[in-house]
Every structure is written in structure tokens, then in C-alpha cells.
Amino acid sequence: MKEGTERKLIIDGKRLDGRGFEELRPIKIEIGVLKRADGSCYLEVGDNKVIAAVYGPREMHPRHAQDAKMAVIKYRYNMAPFSVDDRKRPGPDRRSVEISKVSREAFDPVIMKEYYPKMAIEVYVEMLQSDAGTRTAGINAASVALADAGIPMTDLVSSIAVGKIDGEVVLDLTGVEDNNGEADMPIAMIARTNTITALQMDGHLTKEEFKRGLKLAMGACHQIYELQRAALIERYSKSEGREEKKRD
Ligand code: ADP
């Protein structure tokens, strides 16, 4: 539970990195960055740097974990030990298990799992550099990597966090803001249909703040959706992406 600290995060109406309250950090998306993956994406949101790799659909192992009616989605979020200031202990921990579960569930409504009974679709999200909002950056990258792998989906999923710092509701918290702020609320959604597929909250928001934050986050997801779409269109319209990738 967040308490907030004495550290000032808003000075003269601006945040410490110069952004306004409703401003996203710069986002960069690159597709097809890994040769061995069926689909991949490198994505930056400010100082977050993440790679998502998708494998499959391929046979699910162990066999007893297969689902006779649909594919099983495996989602592994991992934060590299060197991705944060104080080296993080390598390997899975409670946090990464929770983030993997929530992120997988964010894709449940869009992936057409029934097309691939007994198969597995594997999503690996590796944080190379972390500065808060890593689960949401990971979901954005995974969404594009799934599309790059040609996994049938009804739509893309887009994701961002809103939070509260110095009593103000703001978009897309940095690490300093997250550590010293009063609340952090990541969401994931299908932007085209305004369907929320994941929502978490750390800290406390009033009902009004929650409503304002949700509206802000939903607006930002629409912006992110356009960036994801534009990156996919660019990759596939110019170079007939998948064909070219196979020939590499
Ligand atoms: P998210 O990255 O999705 O916002 P958290 O709120 O759990 O998830 O983490 C916020 C930030 O705190 C991370 O992006 C990272 O910069 C930092 N952080 C999280 N866990 C660790 C850790 N074990 N060691 C060092 N820094 C961490």
C-alpha cells in the first residue's frame, strides 16, 4: 500500500521530467527483432526497454497440461538483474509470477485459442531496463509480437498506468514518481471497443480520482493502439514482413 513521501514531484505545474500531467513518455516500437522467434517486438516507453518474443502455436509440453479444446497461453514476464539500479536477484519471484498472470489474462479475450487445441502459445517478456510501468510496456510489446507471429486475435491490447503524485492524477508514472507517489493504477484494454482486460491498483484514489484516472488511461491506450497499428502497418506494407523474415 502506497503512502506517498515528502519528496516534491511537481514543481511549477510540471513533473520532474518536464512532462504535463496528461503526457505519455516517448514510445518507440520495432518489430521482428529476433530471428528465432515466430514474432517479436522491441519497445521503449521513456527509460523502459523491453523485448517480447512469441513462439507457437506449437505442441504443449508437458502433455498433461494440454487443453483438448484450445491452446494454452504461457506468458513469462522477467526483469533482467541489470535492468534496475540495485541489481535484482535473478529468476522468478512473487512479483514476476503475479505480473505474468495478470498480463496473460489481459490477452484472454483477444487470442482465438480455440483454433489450436492441445497447442501452446508462448510469450516471453524480458525487461532490459526498468523505470516503472514495465508490466504495461510488456503488454504493449507482447501484443505487437503476437500479431507479428500471426497469432489470430480479435484485436490488439494496449496498456498504460495512471497514478497520483503530490495529490494530482497523472499519466504514465516514472520510477521516481511510482516510488514516492500515492497511487499507481495499470490498465490494459482493447482500445477499439473500449474493453478493459486488466486493471490493478496500488495505493488509494477517491472515486472521482479513479474516474479521472481511468478516462486518462483509456485516452492514452487509444494513442498507444495507433502507434502499435502504425508500426505493424509499416512493417508489413513496406517489406511484406513475414515473407521477408522467413527468407532471412
Ligand atoms: P511496474 O514496473 O509494472 O510499474 P512495479 O510497480 O512493481 O511494476 O515496479 C515499479 C518499478 O520499481 C519497476 O519498473 C522497477 O523500476 C522498480 N522495481 C520493481 N521491482 C524491483 C526490484 N526487485 N529491484 C529493483 N527495482 C525494482
User: Do residues 49 and 128 make contact, with C-beta atoms less than 8 angstroms apart?
Assistant: yes
| Ligand 1 centroid – CA 92 distance (Å) | 14
> What's the mean pLDDT in 115-144?
98
Q: Which three cell numbers stand for residue 194?
A: 473500449
CA-closest residue to ligand 1 atom 5:
132
DSSP state of 191: G
Handedness of CA 97, 70, 113, 187 (dihedral sign): negative
Among 35-39, 88-92, 139-143, 195-199, the range scoring the smallest mean pLDDT is: 88-92
| Ligand 1 centroid – CA 45 distance (Å) | 14
Ligand 1 binding pocket mutation candidate from 1, 78, 84 (most atoms within 8 A of CB): 84
DSSP state of 65: G
Cβ atoms < 10 Å from Cβ of 36: 7
* The CA-based dihedral angle spanning residues 79, 83, 88, 89, taken in that order and rounded to the nearest 10 degrees: 50
Ligand 1 binding pocket mutation candidate from 43, 48, 79, 98 (most atoms within 8 A of CB): 79
CA-closest residue to ligand 1 atom 13:
132
> ω before 62 within 30° of 0 (cis)?
yes
User: Do residues 161 and 187 make contact, with C-beta atoms less than 8 angstroms apart?
Assistant: yes
Residue type at 169? V
Q: Which three cell numbers stand for residue 110?
A: 483477444
| Ligand 1 centroid – CA 159 distance (Å) | 16
Q: Which ligand 1 atom sits nearest the alpha carbon of residue 130? A: 16
21 has pLDDT over 80: yes
99 has pLDDT over 60: yes
pLDDT value of residue 238: 72
pTM (2 d.p.): 0.95
Ligand 1 binding pocket mutation candidate from 178, 182, 201 (most atoms within 8 A of CB): 178
| Ligand 1 centroid – CA 115 distance (Å) | 36
* The CA-based dihedral angle spanning residues 234, 193, 108, 246, taken in that order and rounded to the nearest 10 degrees: -10
Q: Which of 231, 162, 150 is nearest to 196 (CA)?
A: 162
Residue 74 parent element (H or E): strand 72-79
Q: Model confidence at 244, in pLDDT bands (50, 70, 90)? A: low
What residue ranges define each of the domains in the chain, with the CATH number in brackets?
10-241 (3.30.230.70)
SS3 content of the chain, % helix, strand, coil (to 5): 35, 30, 35
pLDDT value of residue 243: 55
- The 10s digit of each residue's pLDDT in 178-218 is 999 999 999 999 999 999 999 999 999 999 999 999 999 99
Q: Which ligand 1 atom sits nearest the alpha carbon of residue 202? A: 6
Q: Which three cell numbers stand for residue 45?
A: 516507453
